[in-house]
Amino acid sequence: MDAGDVLAYAAAVIIVAWGVSHIAPTRAVAEGFGSISADNRKILVMEWVAEGLTHVFVGVLVVLLTALDGSGDASVQLAYRIAAGFLLVLGAWTAVTGARTPVIWFKICPFVMTTVAGLLLIASFI
């Protein structure tokens, strides 16, 4: 295992953990919105879980690609870069939306995604 693999696995662990920790409190988050319509609650839960699953997917993809072909493979490096770009876009979106609320986790999220993206970019170049 080389340094690129280690960085990719670290990025994957962080983003999977972030995704799982995003999904786990879904019920409490939905309840925190108080009295909203059943349809709005369903949409809120759907979107909340979808973002968490997206994080988990990115992490699992990185783990599988790294385990199968290693971080030195050109196609794996491309996948890391695409995943990093995606996470940067998602982090930017969070920065201009949820991070503008008083909820601390929304404020942390862009930093988590930027960190993971940085690890993946470094892994793709070394």
Which residues form the domain of 110? 3-125
CA distance 53 to 88: 17
Q: What percent of the chain has pLDDT over 70?
A: 100
Question: Which band of pLDDT confidence, cut at 50, 70 and 90, is reported for residue 102?
Answer: confident
- Whether residue 66 has pLDDT greater than 90: yes
Question: Which band of pLDDT confidence, cut at 50, 70 and 90, is reported for residue 115?
Answer: very high
Question: Which band of pLDDT confidence, cut at 50, 70 and 90, is reported for residue 104?
Answer: confident
CA distance 121 to 114: 10
Question: Around Cβ 41, how many Cβ atoms within 10 Å?
Answer: 14
Question: Which band of pLDDT confidence, cut at 50, 70 and 90, is reported for residue 64?
Answer: very high
Question: Around Cβ 47, how many Cβ atoms within 10 Å?
Answer: 10
Around 38, how many Cα atoms within 13 Å sit in the side-chain half-sphere? 0
| The pLDDT of residue 98 | 86
**Domain tally for the chain?**
1
- Whether residue 47 has pLDDT greater than 90: yes
Both ends of the chain: CA-CA distance in Å?
A: 13
| The pLDDT of residue 122 | 98
User: How much helix, strand and coil, in percent to the nearest 5, is found in the chain?
Assistant: 85, 0, 15
